Amino acid sequence: MKISWRVILLWALPALVIGFFVWQGAFAQSAAELGSNTASTRMTYGRFIEYLEAGRVTSVDLYEGGRTAIVEAVDPELDNRMQRLRVDLPANSPELISRLRNEQINFDIHPPRNDGAIWGLLGNLVFPLLLIAGLFFLFRRSSNVPGGPGQAMNFAKSKARFQMEAKTGVLFDDVAGIEEAKEELQEVVTFLKKPERFTAVGARIPKGVLLVGPPGTGKTLLAKAIAGEAGVPFFSISGSEFVEMFVGVGASRVRDLFKKAKENAPCIIFIDEIDAVGRQRGAGIGGGNDEREQTLNQLLTEMDGFEGNTGIIIIAATNRPDVLDSALLRPGRFDRQVTVDAPDVKGRLEILDVHSRNKKLAPEISLEAIARRTPGFTGADLANLLNEAAILTARRRKDAITMLEINDAVDRVVAGMEGTPLVDSKSKRLIAYHEVGHAMVGTLIKDHDPVQKVTLIPRGQAQGLTWFTPSEDQSLVSRSQLLARISGALGGRAAEEVIFGDAEVTTGAGNDLQQVTGMARQMVTRFGMSDLGPISLEGQSAEVFLGRDLMTRSEYSEEIASRIDAQVRSIVEHCYDEAKRIMRENRVVIDRLVDLLIEKETIDGEEFRQIVAEYTQVPEKEQYVPQL
């Protein structure tokens, strides 16, 4: 095990200081003993006076300022032999010197030694020096650690990661599924490489490009691809790194960032999650100085101030453009907004093709089928899907990924980890009727999405699941489709009530009821699909942005609110009655499907539709075939 000498110093420093003071005390004590304790036999002061009066004392040596004496005297008890004796003198005995002179006894006064003062002075100097030296080495060591104490004086400097040669390892070929966004950003790369093509016709490059889209759609990946394609200096920073606890630090970091960028122009500055610093000003409740607002003001000044930023292109990413300050979005700062939305089926196929390059896929794997089964998945979701499938393949000790692993990975990503199947009991049968109720309504209503599979295998918090696959990538949803989805969501509760009675309905439909209520309320208040008429009674975003929407939210009268509640109730009750009607008219096929589901635990959508078709007419539904 290799131990750094700095670590040894850190542990040895306290031991050295303690040992120094112990040695100092021992040395001072030994010095005093050398000066005063040279006699091994003690004599009391009274007996010393008796010897002095009897004329037996021949010499006296005084030490420690007259507090101790070494006496040479003739001892009659030892045949008048000479003996050296130590005597502790009283504090106040000034007459002793006069008496020794009168008796004509040789005496000598030894001044006290000041070794203790010298060592005390050295001790007071050595300890601070050792402490300062130790702190110096510790700060020097921590200065190499990012964010360490040694960098405390650099808190006003920009924390942007800088790459002189943008070797991000990502090119436009590695970004798939967002072709429109790539075309918009290709102009930025072309301007950085060949600016004369634009300047020759009087065009100027946009100063800023704002990437807008949901999480996981590839905004940061696009910024890396721009840097990789352009090959110019690249600054990367997160919006949260501008604002910290120190007042004025954010503005200082913005100035420092743009100063470095001007020195390396032309270059790219990428600010991830810019909504952390670019939120609307004046949105706080109450007064006071807002550090975020000062940082935003400095950013606005740098992007379009008096000096200008020739050759600097700012790329920012956010998934909350609605909270950004309007001054940040105006032309001259962020000239264009590039929407990076969830990919369609063609884009998902391209993304799957990119992420499957380093995966071992079985020959029967169809990326087209996976793309059709994953509507709404972003690039990050698809990458995670294939990674989960690869993990399952390794866990099952297979050589290649098969469709079984793909299907299990989709279920795991959407619904959660697979749980332990239920034993055959009353609860399992009730859950089976609940899930078959969802599937029956979805199959027999024309405008509902087709059933993909029904399963009793628990996943996440759900004890059973019914999967529906949309027939196409739907950007627009009709009123009949919304009503069909509400009826399908109520199919489980309807089955419980029709089969087991009103007293036996369970809490299993709790999540279904939340979704149903939300869809019905949006039909009334947002989409104008009720008897209230084509009016919208709420904004596009249901989230409240503190300081703006809290005070300016649209309001309506109590009468309108009552009518909204009545319309929501009417829509839900109509759909619930339709679901119960389907349950009552198809009781025989429902019982058969439940018995089969309990036996197999999973029924495929195609098999489900074939069984239902034996008892009733299944409406024809459009099968979406994407143009790939």
Split into its structural domains, the chain has a count of 3
Distance separating alpha carbons of residues 133 and 509, to the nearest angstrom: 70
Q: What is the mean pLDDT of residues 18-34?
A: 48
| Closest alpha carbon to 293 in 339, 334, 247 | 247
| Closest alpha carbon to 522 in 479, 554, 553, 555 | 479
Distance separating alpha carbons of residues 167 and 416, to the nearest angstrom: 37
Residues 489 and 609 in one domain: yes
Residues 334 and 351 in one domain: no
CATH code for the domain in which residue 533 is found = 1.20.58.760
User: How confident is residue 391, by pLDDT bands cut at 50, 70 and 90?
Assistant: very high
86 lies in a domain? Answer: no
The yes-or-no verdict on residue 489 having pLDDT over 60 is yes
CB of 495 within 8 A of CB of 442? no
Upper half-sphere CA count for residue 466 (Cβ side, 13 Å): 26
Residues 260 and 404 in one domain: no
The yes-or-no verdict on residue 22 having pLDDT over 60 is no
| Closest alpha carbon to 495 in 604, 419, 593 | 593
Residues 362 and 471 in one domain: no
Q: What is the mean pLDDT of residues 498-510?
A: 89
CATH code for the domain in which residue 374 is found = 1.10.8.60
CB of 312 within 8 A of CB of 271? no
Q: Name the residues annotated as catalytic.
A: 435
Distances from the Cα of 58 to the Cα of 63, 108, 111, angstroms: 17, 12, 21
- Which strand (E) or helix (H) includes residue 161? strand 161-163
- The structure's pTM equals 0.65
**Omega cis (within 30) before 363:** no
Q: What is the mean pLDDT of residues 504-516?
A: 90
Domain of residue 367 covers 345-415
Mention every residue, 6+ apart, whose C-beta is less than 8 A from residue 584: 498
Residues 433 and 526 in one domain: yes
Query: Three-state SS for 510?
Result: helix
Q: For strand 106-109 and strand 57-63, is the pairing parallel, antiparallel, or unpaired?
A: parallel
The yes-or-no verdict on residue 37 having pLDDT over 50 is no
Q: Residue type at 499?
A: I
Predicted pLDDT of residue 93: 67
384 lies in a domain? Answer: yes
Residues 476 and 535 in one domain: yes
Using CB atoms within 10 A of its CB, is residue 217 exposed (0-12), middle (13-18) or buried (19+)?
buried
Helix, strand, coil percentages (3-state) for the chain, rounded to 5, are: 55, 15, 35
Q: What is the mean pLDDT of residues 263-291?
A: 72
Q: What is the mean pLDDT of residues 47-74?
A: 79
Residue-wise pLDDT tens digits, 540-570: 444 544 445 544 455 678 888 899 999 999 9
Mention every residue, 6+ apart, whose C-beta is less than 8 A from residue 15: none
245 lies in a domain? Answer: yes
Residues 554 and 571 in one domain: yes
Residue-wise pLDDT tens digits, 147-196: 444 444 444 455 555 555 556 667 777 787 778 788 878 877 888 777 78
Predicted pLDDT of residue 585: 92
CA of residue 315 relative to chain centroid, distance: 22
- Average pLDDT in the chain: 77
57 lies in a domain? Answer: no
Distances from the Cα of 253 to the Cα of 205, 291, 303, 562, angstroms: 25, 12, 14, 53
Residues 459 and 399 in one domain: no
Dihedral sign (CA 493, 498, 499, 501)? positive
Residues 449 and 391 in one domain: no
Among 339, 355, 379, identify where a domain stops.
339
Distance separating alpha carbons of residues 410 and 415, to the nearest angstrom: 8
CB of 576 within 8 A of CB of 490? yes
Residues 446 and 362 in one domain: no
Residues 541 and 469 in one domain: yes
Residues 391 and 500 in one domain: no
Start-to-end C-alpha separation, the chain = 59
Among 339, 357, 392, identify where a domain stops.
339
Among 311, 339, 367, identify where a domain stops.
339
Largest Cα–Cα separation, the chain: 144
CATH code for the domain in which residue 212 is found = 3.40.50.300
560 lies in a domain? Answer: yes
Question: Which residues, in sequence order, are bridge partners of residue 380?
Answer: none
Give the other-Cβ count within 10 Å of 104's Cβ: 7
Distance separating alpha carbons of residues 625 and 628, to the nearest angstrom: 9
Give the other-Cβ count within 10 Å of 621's Cβ: 16
Distance separating alpha carbons of residues 583 and 492, to the nearest angstrom: 10
Residue-wise pLDDT tens digits, 87-146: 877 766 667 777 777 777 877 777 766 555 666 666 667 767 777 877 776 666 555 444
520 lies in a domain? Answer: yes
The yes-or-no verdict on residue 405 having pLDDT over 80 is yes
528 lies in a domain? Answer: yes
64 lies in a domain? Answer: no
